[in-house]
Structure 1
Amino acid sequence: MAWPRQRTEWLPLTLGQLDFWQEYRAHRGKAVSTVAHLTRLHGDLDHAALSAAIRDCIAESDVMCLRFRERDGIPEQMIDPALAPVLREMDLRGETDPDSRARSMMQEDLDRPLDLLTGPLAAQWLVRTDDNDWMWYCRGHHIFLDGYSMALIERRVARLYAHHATGDDPGDPFLPFPDYLREESEYRASDRHASNGAFWQDRIAAAPRLAVLDKGSEDYPQTQRCAATDLHHLSAPLRTAGERFGMGWPDALTLLTGLWLWGHPESDQGRACTDRVVWLPFQSRMGSVGSRIPAMAVNILPFRVAADPTHDLTETLRNMARDLRKHRRHGRYRIEQITLDQGIPAGRRYFFSPLINVMPFDPPRLPGADIGQEVLAAGPGDGFNIGFAADSCGDGLTLYLEADPRLTPDALFRHHADGLPRFLQQCLCDDDGAASLQELLRLSPA
């Protein structure tokens, strides 16, 4: 359970947080880096237990009450209990359309920019829309929350609900946020950090030239091209193919999508290039205290896709998987440090596009409840983004595409939206994996 939170000293920001601070400074007054999830709950739930679980989780989550300041041009952060969000409970059962009313209120909240210098930055709502229906709204800023953090919070609330409702063991509380900052500082001073840096120096030197942009020049579109495609019929074939290729299904999906982009680099003509770079999020939490602390810990790394179109799919994926494992062994090394190592000044950064993000997160499970989840806001994205969401077994697989309409014409966007699912199905239904990439890409729509 939670312990009394104390106001601490001013603390430094991590490299990842500094990047979001600079973005905030460049786009102050704009709702750019808000993150928010909506969890819908249906069932005969104990409302008091659910409220208590969310309040307890707030009390355990240091990052929900972070205060920021800038001193002599250097940003700092402090855990300030006065900024902890108060659970806002609303009963809309008397409304004509309670769901629409709740969503309208959430959108109004999302449209308001979050000011890091004034706060507060986190919000927790519990909205009752019917006798057996609730909407739990969890919102924060990307400077202290990433997708894994949201999943941590959701699972923790589920565990605490079971405790309050049925007397189950509440489990271990979150660790203090300063523990994560301390571990990051120790890693950056370690020999491992130096060896990881050498690895990335070599990798960047061997990769195609990476696009760079000026921080603050991002003109994030108000409206993106978006598409969502139900791929639940590919869940079982994907698990089978992962076993056949000798890797987990998330890696198989990531690599297959990388091959699709490799074969369709700039147009919808289906011509394969020699190699290209895609960007992959990396959850640097394995073996870290970050596995028990909500924080902005996700990294983003370049992955070079190089293949021979005459080779068969199995050989190609196994070679790529070996390379991906190498990347992950060095994945804690921050992209911001890689950028500095390459001599790119602090006012510039890499253009993270195209990006492939596979999110194999189990939804929270509450006794007696059916759960549905939506990502309402996930922060900014560059260029072209391909996301997949499913539970840890791959069930409920859904493809999400987002693109800046100024960079991705409608015809090209529709080509990816239609062609990628077909390409995945072709690859997953190639039972022996003997088809060449050339054959598989020729089968995809041109």
Structure 2
Amino acid sequence: MPGQETDRRPLSAAQLGVWYAQRLDPASPVFNQGGHVDLHGPIDVPLFAEALSRLVAEDGTTRLRFTEAGGVPAQFAAAVEPYVPEIADLRDTPDPEAAARELIDADMATVPDLEQGPLFRHLLLRLGEDRLRWYYRAHHLMQDGFSGHLLQRRLGEIYTALAGGTESGPALGPVSALLDQHDVYRDSAARKKDRAFWSRVMEGAECPPARAGRPALRIAREISFISSEQFAALREFGVRAGVSWQQVLIGAGVLHQHRRTGARDVLLSLPVTGRLTPAARRVPGMSANVLPLRVAVDPDATCEALMARVASAVLRVQWHQRYDASELIRDLGWPADGRRQFGPVVNVLAGDAPPRFGGVPGTAHLLSTGGTAEDLGITVTDGPDGGLRVDFTVDAAYADSVPLASHRRSFHRVLDTLTGDADVPVREVDVLDGVEWGLVVEEWNNTAVPIGQETLNTLFEHQARIHPDHTAVIFNDEHTTYRRLNENANRLAHHLTHCAGIRRGDLIGVLHDRSTTFATTLIALTKTGAAYTVLDPDFPDTRLNTTLTRNHITTVITDTNHTHRITAPHLIHTDHDTHHHNHPAT
């Protein structure tokens, strides 16, 4: 990319998502990605700093800056400036490890200026006479997770060459080459083939429901480890199933999702690099993509057979990995809310040979992949002592609805099954430990509640009588009492019975945005004696109408936002504001 600030280029599809998410919360550091590499051995620190300076000079992403031109996000390359890495000598501190963690944590919490930069940082921490920690951080707009691995290997090449007085090999490719490839792909026959492929793969797939509320853009995390012994057993299982151990871990994610939800049509989100050519794999930049992994699960099949099916699906995704996820979501007609993915994320980043610096091997530790999501994330990296580390993450706003500790336990139970007996059927994989088994099977199924002949309707009315001024529903900033909710439900039930002709036993569709009116509608229907089925507004129109047809539903209660989406002969409209006692109108 030319080094003039006037040479602006549009953001790639991968960058746009990060740009708008950062704009949503400018103070969030969640898009900082990075980690550190620990070196135990005779490292020449000044020479290592020189190698870092040369690495930054090669890495065109370090000069990237981001701005808006006429309201459109753009990027440009700032002028080239010499880079001198920072060195912090912590050898004389009481606890060098704690001091290093404090420096790193503080830096990972900073948010760089996207327009002025720099958007990255390298820091050399001296922890002992033969202990050096190289810490690096980069904003996700400039680099993806693959770039971090690429830079580790390249720094090892440069340092080793400087130490030995040899050539360091081919330099990193220019970031402009990566952007040029994206431009060429946008109008290529390959993109049309990829679009047709994803259209076939995703035909009939159900849109995952969005989680309530805005994301916090902060990470909640649970960490666990796979021992070297269990890792060896996983590799043995992969040999038995005819797949790689990385594919076994992805397959474990599919199996975990199936056994926890019962879904036979499993959708996961699979991160990919967006790079297909060898030349592209020597270019740091932001090219990552997240695409759906869709697997049909047969409960009677063996786990080995399921892994073979997963491996085949993973290979197909990799061959069509450049088609942008946001474009695919638009093709599917799913809500383009900027957050939604395809399901839980399984990201296997382990397995690369550790970088070497002269004769000293480096041990890499990933701190952040530079993003967040509303669904569960399972990230596998290299762990200590030849094992693996598994991070379970979710946006902090959804930590209550995505219990990470429970997912951690059940995922490891899946791994235990895979490394146990051979040819275990999928249906026999148990994801519940003793505590959760008792909760689900005994406590939640204990329905012996002394309610006599009471119905849901009379129970609600009883609550409205004894606690009329208690809050029954909270929606955004609105608090509705039991008295008001009951009055509004009575009014609506009267209208449904005497004006709309709804009778006991009728099946009514309810297509409504989440609101107090939605709750009022459901309670009103219980008062009429009718049954109801809730139609999710996030579903495509075709699925809504198919549901109506298959269930012979001819009457739908909806709001004005969705009237045009369905073809039911009888539509009953509700007003959004039930607090003003507005009567619904047919």
TM-score, with structure 2 as normaliser: 0.68
Question: Closer, same or farther in 2 for the Cα pair 1:83/1:202, shift >3 Å?
Answer: farther
Question: Closer, same or farther in 2 for the Cα pair 1:76/1:442, shift >3 Å?
Answer: closer
Task: Give deviations 1:315-358, integer Å, cap 9, x for gaps.
Answer: 22222322232222211111022123234576544245411111
Aligned length: 431
**1:438, CA displacement in angstroms?**
1.2
Question: Closer, same or farther in 2 for the Cα pair 1:88/1:191, shift >3 Å?
Answer: same
**1:309, CA displacement in angstroms?**
0.9
**In angstroms, what is the RMSD of aligned CA positions?**
2.6
SS at match of 1:95: coil
Residue in 2 that maps onto 1:435: 424
Residue in 2 that maps onto 1:362: 353
Distance in 2 (alpha carbons) for counterparts of 1:83 and 1:275: 52
For the Cα contact (< 8 Å) 1:174–1:293, is it kept in 2? yes
Match of 1:173 among 171, 174, 194: 171
Match of 2:318 among 311, 320, 328: 328
Residue in 1 that maps onto 2:97: 99
Residue in 2 that maps onto 1:226: 222
Task: Give deviations 1:235-289, integer Å, cap 9, x for gaps.
Answer: 2222222222222211121112211111112xxxxxx333231111112223253
The residue correspondences of 1:39-438 to structure 2 (distance < 5 A) are 39-82=37-80, 85-212=83-210, 217-221=214-218, 224-265=220-261, 272-343=262-333, 348-351=338-341, 353-360=343-350, 361-382=352-373, 383-390=375-382, 395-404=386-395, 407-409=398-400, 412-431=403-422, 434-438=423-427
SS at match of 2:299: coil
For the Cα contact (< 8 Å) 1:310–1:436, is it kept in 2? yes
Distance in 2 (alpha carbons) for counterparts of 1:70 and 1:220: 22
Q: Runs of 5+ in structure 1 lacking a partner?
A: 266-271
Question: Closer, same or farther in 2 for the Cα pair 1:25/1:87, shift >3 Å?
Answer: same
Q: Taking every aligned residue pair, what percent have the same amino acid on both sides?
A: 27
SS at match of 1:224: strand
Question: Closer, same or farther in 2 for the Cα pair 1:67/1:425, shift >3 Å?
Answer: same
In the alignment, residue 244 of structure 2 is paired with which amino acid? G
Distance in 2 (alpha carbons) for counterparts of 1:296 and 1:162: 27
For the Cα contact (< 8 Å) 2:269–2:292, is it kept in 1? yes
In the alignment, residue 314 of structure 1 is paired with which amino acid? E
**1:93, CA displacement in angstroms?**
2.4
For the Cα contact (< 8 Å) 2:269–2:290, is it kept in 1? yes
**1:97, CA displacement in angstroms?**
2.4
SS at match of 1:229: strand
Distance in 2 (alpha carbons) for counterparts of 1:13 and 1:277: 28
For the Cα contact (< 8 Å) 1:307–1:316, is it kept in 2? yes
**1:162, CA displacement in angstroms?**
0.5
SS at match of 2:387: coil
Distance in 2 (alpha carbons) for counterparts of 1:234 and 1:322: 24
Distance in 2 (alpha carbons) for counterparts of 1:324 and 1:73: 38
Task: Give deviations 1:69-93, integer Å, cap 9, x for gaps.
Answer: 2110111111213567531122222
398-407 or 311-320, larger mean C-alpha shift:
398-407
Task: Give deviations 1:395-419, integer Å, cap 9, x for gaps.
Answer: 4222221234653549943332223
Question: Closer, same or farther in 2 for the Cα pair 1:379/1:342, shift >3 Å?
Answer: same
**1:370, CA displacement in angstroms?**
4.6
In the alignment, residue 389 of structure 1 is paired with which amino acid? T
Distance in 2 (alpha carbons) for counterparts of 1:338 and 1:410: 27
In the alignment, residue 439 of structure 1 is paired with which amino acid? E
For the Cα contact (< 8 Å) 2:255–2:414, is it kept in 1? no
Residue in 2 that maps onto 1:28: 26
**1:6, CA displacement in angstroms?**
4.1
In the alignment, residue 364 of structure 1 is paired with which amino acid? P
For the Cα contact (< 8 Å) 2:216–2:397, is it kept in 1? no
Distance in 1 (alpha carbons) for counterparts of 2:431 and 2:335: 42
174-183 or 47-56, larger mean C-alpha shift:
47-56
Distance in 1 (alpha carbons) for counterparts of 2:249 and 2:327: 28
SS at match of 1:205: coil
Question: Closer, same or farther in 2 for the Cα pair 1:350/1:204, shift >3 Å?
Answer: farther
Task: Give deviations 1:176-214, integer Å, cap 9, x for gaps.
Answer: 111111111111111110111122123233322233579
Distance in 2 (alpha carbons) for counterparts of 1:240 and 1:345: 42
190-199 or 414-423, larger mean C-alpha shift:
414-423
For the Cα contact (< 8 Å) 2:8–2:75, is it kept in 1? yes
Distance in 2 (alpha carbons) for counterparts of 1:228 and 1:168: 41
Residue in 2 that maps onto 1:269: none
Question: Closer, same or farther in 2 for the Cα pair 1:421/1:284, shift >3 Å?
Answer: same
Distance in 2 (alpha carbons) for counterparts of 1:113 and 1:397: 30
Distance in 2 (alpha carbons) for counterparts of 1:318 and 1:401: 25
Q: Whose radius of gyration is greater, 1 or 2?
A: 2
In the alignment, residue 362 of structure 2 is paired with which amino acid? I
For the Cα contact (< 8 Å) 2:8–2:76, is it kept in 1? yes
SS at match of 2:429: helix
For the Cα contact (< 8 Å) 2:411–2:431, is it kept in 1? no
**1:384, CA displacement in angstroms?**
1.3
Distance in 2 (alpha carbons) for counterparts of 1:405 and 1:180: 33
In the alignment, residue 385 of structure 1 is paired with which amino acid? G
**1:218, CA displacement in angstroms?**
2.1
Q: Runs of 5+ in structure 2 lacking a partner?
A: 438-586
SS at match of 1:172: coil
374-383 or 39-48, larger mean C-alpha shift:
374-383
For the Cα contact (< 8 Å) 2:4–2:76, is it kept in 1? yes
Distance in 2 (alpha carbons) for counterparts of 1:348 and 1:162: 43
SS at match of 1:51: helix
76-85 or 332-341, larger mean C-alpha shift:
76-85
In the alignment, residue 306 of structure 2 is paired with which amino acid? T
In the alignment, residue 384 of structure 1 is paired with which amino acid? L
Question: Closer, same or farther in 2 for the Cα pair 1:37/1:69, shift >3 Å?
Answer: same
Residue in 2 that maps onto 1:268: none
Question: Closer, same or farther in 2 for the Cα pair 1:124/1:398, shift >3 Å?
Answer: same
For the Cα contact (< 8 Å) 2:17–2:338, is it kept in 1? no
Question: Closer, same or farther in 2 for the Cα pair 1:31/1:404, shift >3 Å?
Answer: closer
